[in-house]
Amino acid sequence: MTFPETLASWLRHDMGLIPVERHRPWSRFEVSEAQWWRLMEAMEVSRWSLLGLWAEPERVYLALRDDTDEDIAVVSLLCSEGRFPAVSVVRPAAQRLERAIHDLFGLEAVGLTDSRPWLDHGVWKGSRPLAAVPGPAVRRSYAFLPVEGEGLHQIPVGPVHAGIIEPGHFRFHANGEAVVRLEERLGYVHKGIEGLMQGRSVFDAARLAARISGDSTVAYGFAFARAVEAALGFEAPPRAVWLRALMAEMERLANHLGDIGSICNDAAFPVLLTRCHALREQVARTAVACFGHRLMMDRIVPGGVAVDLTPDGAERIRRLGTEIKGAFAIVMEIYDNRNSLLDRMVGTGVIGSHLVHRFGAGGFVGRAAMRDFDARRTPSYPPYDDLDFIVPVLEGGDVNARVGVRREEIKESLKLMAVILDRLPEGPVLEPVPGTGGEGMALVEGFRGEILVWVRLAADGTILRCHARDPSWFQWPLLEAAIEGNIVADFPLCNKSFNCSYSGHDL
């Protein structure tokens, strides 16, 4: 088989497919099982990265992005017999998504090597809750992957941790201090978001979307609103578009500040923790003064933004930018000059560039290991298509590189905030959205990476199906790789440098 051409031309010309109607902004192609197989063969030799894999009771959807021409396409398959050929055979990052699809919809991925449940821990009242016909509850024991060898022992960690963090279980196989294998088990904060979304108005559903992962509430609100607006063929008013970006940058700034402090604290250097968290607090206080909520939750709604910037808001945010710029420079000077701290950061938790590309990991995890991808630049969306900014890409792949990407992004976000304020257009911030049907998809860069939201609206404007794919889906598996060859005691540092979302992943 020859190297296939671009994704779009391959789907349209080689396969002779015609996109289905009303799927915006990217095309969706309905394929047969034989065509799905051919697609997989093509994926094996192509640079089409996985963006998402989700399901409906009788259909699976696969979103792909062509890394060569940055085109995006969705492919769907009707699973009349409750089965579909596994994508994980060619894209290992799909493995957990397929396990989750099986738990929620009962659709079986043929060829999936790991048949253990993922989100369903055997404590639900039933099984496959989102399938057309839900099943009875199934109790199963969960077998962790075996490790054999002399002197090996297990260390179970979590899901309840000593600190105030989200729940997740980590099973270490270690030989003394050296980690032989780390296996994650997630799903403890499954809330059934996808099920809850069904049948709700877009405004109710937007409130749910904003609560998928609290630290990324702006990004989720942004992505959901954009997906709904895409489905309806609606453009938000210009001022709202720019205000959304302003909030998104403030959220990115706050989270990166918090992360850098927390990473330093995990190396037992709390001086930077308190400094960084004080700065993060300043952002939150500015947010409440400007938008009425510390995390700016529920400020972005389909149709625009719920509140306009307060009259003195622009001035406050400018002042915040100046203050943080100076204070953050001092923080990073301390960081750079502390050998004992750098000794912990440099060379710890390295992930190779090939793995990052293989799993399609976005955000700072990908960019710290040479994966130059930022949804704000490609495929881009307003107002970022009209803004100049640098996407930092480093090659270390270690904890220090992940801190490095964050620190550059903080500087860029500060610049972007100032530019957005300068160019903020006048006008209304909210317009009523039409109540019609359609399918829409959006890709928005949150602080962790790109968030994908896909919606299907009924003719009356309510949600038929909504799927949100957190960037953490493609980052969690890499954490298992990052800890390889490290020692048990360095795991918290690696974990914090990833700072994956539990809530966004468990849905």
For binding to another protein (CB under 8 A), which residues are involved?
Answer: 153-157, 161-164, 176-177, 264, 266-271, 273-275, 278, 338, 340-341, 343-344, 487-492
Residue placing its CB nearer to another protein in the complex, 156 or 195: 156
Smallest distance from another protein to CB 363, Å: 23
Nearer to another protein, 466 or 494 (CB): 494
Q: How far is the CB of 126 from another protein (least distance, A)?
A: 34
Q: What are phi and psi of 456, to 5 degrees?
A: -130, 120
Nearer to another protein, 326 or 432 (CB): 326
Q: Take residue 288 and report the two structure tokens written for it.
A: 């409440």
Nearest approach, Cβ of 240 to another protein (angstroms)?
38
Residue 33 to residue 84: CA distance in whole angstroms: 7
Q: Which is nearer to another protein, 132 or 487 (CB)?
A: 487
Q: Measured from the CB of residue 504, what is the shortest distance to another protein in angstroms?
A: 22
Give dist(CA 94, CA 114) in Å, integer.
11
Please check whether residue 385 is in contact with residue 331, taking contact to mean a CB–CB distance below 8 angstroms. Answer: no
Least distance to another protein, CB of residue 288, Å: 22
Span between the terminal Cα atoms of the chain, in Å = 39
Q: At what angle do helices 491-498 and 238-266 cross, to 10 degrees?
A: 170
Query: Is 339 exposed, middle or buried (CB count within 10 Å of its CB: 0-12, 13-18, 19+)?
Result: exposed
Q: Are 129 and 104 in contact (CB under 8 A)?
A: yes
**Cβ proximity to another protein, 154 vs 310, nearer residue:** 154
Q: How far is the CB of 144 from another protein (least distance, A)?
A: 14
Report the residue number, 8 or 271, with the smaller CB distance to another protein: 271
Do 397 and 435 contact (CB within 8 A), yes or no? no
- 294's CB contacts (< 8 A; 6+ apart) are 284, 285, 287, 288
C-beta closer to another protein: residue 270 or 427: 270
Smallest distance from the beta carbon of 177 to another protein, in angstroms? 6
At its nearest, how many Å lie between another protein and the CB of residue 493?
8
Instruction: For residue 150, count CB atoms less than 10 angstroms from its CB and return exposed for 0-12, middle for 13-18, buried for 19 or more.
Output: exposed
CA neighbor of 122 nearest in space, from 99, 139, 134: 139
Residue 329: CB atoms within 10 A of its CB come to 11
Instruction: Report the C-alpha gap between 377 and 393 in whole angstroms.
Output: 13
- In eight-state DSSP terms, residue 428 is -
- The Cα 320–Cα 312 span in angstroms is 12
3-state secondary structure 180-214: EEEEEECCCCCCCHHHHHCCCEHHHHHHHHCCCCH
Nearest distance in Å: CB 484, another protein: 16
Residue closer to another protein, measured from CB, 18 or 268: 268
**C-beta of 161: minimal distance to another protein in Å?**
7
Q: Could you tell me if 272 and 498 are in contact, meaning their C-beta atoms sit under 8 angstroms apart?
A: no
Shorter beta-carbon distance to another protein: residue 2 or 340: 340
Task: Closer to another protein by CB, 113 or 274: give it.
Answer: 274
